[in-house]
């Protein structure tokens, strides 16, 4: 089978021929380069109109035989660009009299890494200009396990480089400048398996404006932003039980990011794969390759139903080309030592010792600060929650410098292994209770709840005191994402969880949760 793929979500006008018989992919790309600032939608669309016919013509000339299907990037992306590509794809499919396939751009990033790596069911970190999220496959869809709460990672970096007067794209220029830099302190924001880049970008601009060396600011930007992405990827591996990670997106071309991810995976005994750079940046090769899988699964569309979707989320895609038995979550029996996302836990008969070991992928200064800060918070907030009537383990000992805590052993297994309505309702009431007391858990996933005769909250290391409804709603959002990634009946459990929260907590927090869910960071 030969599939013509056409990509044009933002800056790359690209066409490709993917031949399934020879497992070869030819890619022709004409990139839009703005004269100043970032991507201008109107100019980008004009570029698409001029470049798409040329790259398609070049790709077709390379095809070793007839075309069997046409695949195009249906979204997410810039509306004017997507419409140009959609029109071209429809015309070609009708002219060639072949099936038409509408591909989700972000799922294509994931699938090309899964296909080339040979991994069975990996977690995927997508790091691109307009997007940043972690995905895992479960029950016929790619579930969003974590995502950016404000802007895509590449766009965030570009905002900083525009501030200092550098041309688009900014990522490669930051990477080059960082090679001569030293570490300066910048914000680090991880909320469960979500992250935020707005604070660190503002701080980086301010650091530059007050005279910090540009090399040092660029170095620290990379160290913090990429450590945030790596930490969240590790949390997703820990949550799902997966030991395979693939990288997608144009920011994945950065050598420092790839090195961090590979080092993290090595440290926890997981496998890591990053595709060749031509498949990391926006390209039609991944569109054609996924298009071939969709055609074989009968997942084609009629021309009249092929409208593009600028806000096309990856978790809206019915994954017809995979079986439900391929879900990413694979449980393992716990022994006396459990490796979590940021700590190793030794389980005794009555006590549990938690050690936040150094993370070699993080800058030593950043790592030491995070380990110390999180150890202190975990001890304090675990005890504080207990004082407000929430079942938590007793804290017996704490050593902030070594990152070590000793707890009472509670529960028999993690909630993810025994998800029931009653236990999920417990979590809803417990979170409402601590929110009423003025603090958040910070990472309430189905991995950080222990169950047995009772339901217990554990691992408050990302918690903090706050009176902001947004922060409380983020707690709920994190738990909801973990349900989607670990439950076969996530929607029903989500409703029970929210109802239980509403019985004790504020309706304003649930309203804010709806606002968070509607932000649509995939655009």
Report residue 68: phi and psi, to 5°. -100, -15
Cis peptide before 169 (omega within 30 of 0): yes
Read off the tokens for 271: 């496998």
Read off the tokens for 344: 């190793």
For 320-351, give one letter per residue: b (16+ CB within 10 A) or e: eebeeeebbbeeeeeeeebbbbbbebeeeeee
**Owner of token pair 């021309």:** 303
**Owner of token pair 């805590």:** 405
Phi-psi region of 411 (alpha: psi -120 to 50; beta: other; left: phi over 0): left
| Cα–Cα distance for residue pair 252/278, rounded to 1 Å | 11
- Other CB atoms within 10 Å distance of the CB of residue 90: 17
Bridge partner list, 451: 413, 455
- CA-to-CA separations, 59 to 2, 62, 66, 383, in angstroms, rounded: 11, 5, 12, 63
- Other CB atoms within 10 Å distance of the CB of residue 295: 22
Annotated active-site residue in 282, 443, 459, 475: 443
The H-or-E segment that residue 286 falls in is helix 284-296
| Cα–Cα distance for residue pair 61/81, rounded to 1 Å | 24
| Cα–Cα distance for residue pair 376/483, rounded to 1 Å | 28
| Cα–Cα distance for residue pair 194/144, rounded to 1 Å | 10
Bridge partner list, 473: none
Name the 3-class secondary structure at 134.
strand
Name the 3-class secondary structure at 42.
helix
| Cα–Cα distance for residue pair 20/61, rounded to 1 Å | 17
| Cα–Cα distance for residue pair 382/441, rounded to 1 Å | 9
Active site residue 443: yes
Q: Are strands 271-273 and 337-339 parallel, antiparallel or unpaired?
A: unpaired
- CA-to-CA separations, 469 to 278, 304, 509, in angstroms, rounded: 43, 43, 5
Half-sphere exposure for 494 (CA within 13 Å, toward CB): 19
- Other CB atoms within 10 Å distance of the CB of residue 118: 10
Q: Distance of alpha carbon 98 from its chain centroid, rounded?
A: 35
Contact 101, 295 (CB under 8 A): yes
> What are the residue numbers of the active site?
443
């Amino acid at each position: 089978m030969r599939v013509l793929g056409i990509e044009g979500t933002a800056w790359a006008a690209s066409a490709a021929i993917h031949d399934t018989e020879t497992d070869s992919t030819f890619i022709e790309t004409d990139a839009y380069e703005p004269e100043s600032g970032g991507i201008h939608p109107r100019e980008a669309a004009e570029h698409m109109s001029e470049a798409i016919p040329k790259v398609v013509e070049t790709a077709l000339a390379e095809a070793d035989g007839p075309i069997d299907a046409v695949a195009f990037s249906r979204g997410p992306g810039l509306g004017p660009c997507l419409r140009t590509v959609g029109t071209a794809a429809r015309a070609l499919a009708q002219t060639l009299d072949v099936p038409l396939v509408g591909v989700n751009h972000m799922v294509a990033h994931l699938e090309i890494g899964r296909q080339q790596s040979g991994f069975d069911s990996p977690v995927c970190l997508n790091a691109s200009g307009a997007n940043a999220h972690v995905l895992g496959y479960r029950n016929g869809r790619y579930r969003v396990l974590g995502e950016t709460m404000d802007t895509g990672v590449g766009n965030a970096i570009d905002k900083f480089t525009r501030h200092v007067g550098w041309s688009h794209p900014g990522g490669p220029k930051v990477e080059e400048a960082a090679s001569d830099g030293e570490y300066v302190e910048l914000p680090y924001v991880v909320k469960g398996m979500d992250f935020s880049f707005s604070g660190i970008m503002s701080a980086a601009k301010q650091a530059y404006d007050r005279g910090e060396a540009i090399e040092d600011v660029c170095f620290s930007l990379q160290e913090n932003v990429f450590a945030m992405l790596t930490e969240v990827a590790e949390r997703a591996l820990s949550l799902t039980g997966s030991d395979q990670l693939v990288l997608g997106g144009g920011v994945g071309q950065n050598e420092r990011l790839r090195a961090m991810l590979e080092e993290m995976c090595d440290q926890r005994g997981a496998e890591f794969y990053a595709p060749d750079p031509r498949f990391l940046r926006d390209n039609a090769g991944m569109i054609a390759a996924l298009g071939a899988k969709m055609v074989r699964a009968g997942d084609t569309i009629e021309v009249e139903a092929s409208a593009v979707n600028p806000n096309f989320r990856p978790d809206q895609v019915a994954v017809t080309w995979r079986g439900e038995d391929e879900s990413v979550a694979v449980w393992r029996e716990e022994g006396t030592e459990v490796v979590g996302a940021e700590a190793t836990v030794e389980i005794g008969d009555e006590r549990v010792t938690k050690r936040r070991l150094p993370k070699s992928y993080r800058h030593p200064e950043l790592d030491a600060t995070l380990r110390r800060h999180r150890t202190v918070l975990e001890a304090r907030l675990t005890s504080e929650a207990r004082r407000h009537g929430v079942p938590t383990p007793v804290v017996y000992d704490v050593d902030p410098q070594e990152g070590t805590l000793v707890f009472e052993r509670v529960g028999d297994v993690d909630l993810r292994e025994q998800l029931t309505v009653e236990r999920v309702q417990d979590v809803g009431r417990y979170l409402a209770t601590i929110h009423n007391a003025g603090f958040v858990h910070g990472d309430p996933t189905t991995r950080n709840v222990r169950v047995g005769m009772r339901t217990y909250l554990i691992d408050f290391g990302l918690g903090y005191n706050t009176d902001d409804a947004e922060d409380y709603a983020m707690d709920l959002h994190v738990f909801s994402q973990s349900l989607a990634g670990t439950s076969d009946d996530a929607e029903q459990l989500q409703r029970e969880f929210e109802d239980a929260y509403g019985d004790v907590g504020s309706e304003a927090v649930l309203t804010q949760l709806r606002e968070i869910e509607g932000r649509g960071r995939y655009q």
